[in-house]
A = this chain, B = another copy of it.
Amino acid sequence: MKTLKIPEATIIRLSVYSRYLYMADKRGIVTISSGDIADGVGVSPAQVRKDLAYFGEFGTRGVGYNVKDLHRHILKILGLSNIWHVALVGLGNLGLALSSYKGFRERGFCICSIFDTDPEKVGTIVNDVVVEHIDRLEEVVDERGAQIGIIAVPAGFAQEVADRLIKAGVKAILNFAPVVLNVPPEIELRNVDLAVHLEVLTFNLALQK
């Protein structure tokens, strides 16, 4: 796998392609062209081919791509050919929603540890997982070997949680708290700020007027 600086946009599109291929496969489609995929997900055919070209040659000229094959390849590229263990910190409304989000399980993510501080929640079982107290975070994460952490705590606690997740051995963090986290460069970090998405919309709406 050659890896000369892949644009993040490409990764995001691969993820979208894979979902489309999965559906196509379920509908019994065997072969698909870059144009078909492009139409299906709203990008240009050249874009589809370019994105795939970063990783190798998966199609046959004149024909197209084998749906199952390509799907498998993309999952492999995205690192989804094995199960990832995810630790979720914070079981507010958002944490609860994330813990039961089917999309994660379908794609091979297992939220196998959940942490909160609320004594009412600690010890209860949520989606087959026993909720632990945050005090035990390092211990539990280390013991279970969680590779990814999801932060769904209030902004004020996010940095502390991030520090502790990293100390416990987590290699990547998905942060839902609306705050800029400071992490070492080797830690993969992504921020999801739900309000930001709405603000991009309102910016565009405000322009139209």
Contact = CB atoms under 8 A, between A and B. Distances in A.
A207 interface: yes
Interface residues of A, number: 59
B93 A193 contact: no
**Copies of the polypeptide in the assembly:** 2
A94 interface: yes
The list of the 5 closest CB pairs from A to B, nearest first, reads A79-B206, A79-B202, A97-B97, A93-B97, A172-B201
B172 A204 contact: yes
Contacts of A148: 198, 201-202, 205
A201 B152 CA distance: 17
A96 interface: yes
A63 interface: no
A145 interface: no
A125 B93 CA distance: 16
B103 A11 contact: no
A198 B104 contact: yes
B104 A195 contact: yes
A77 B11 contact: no
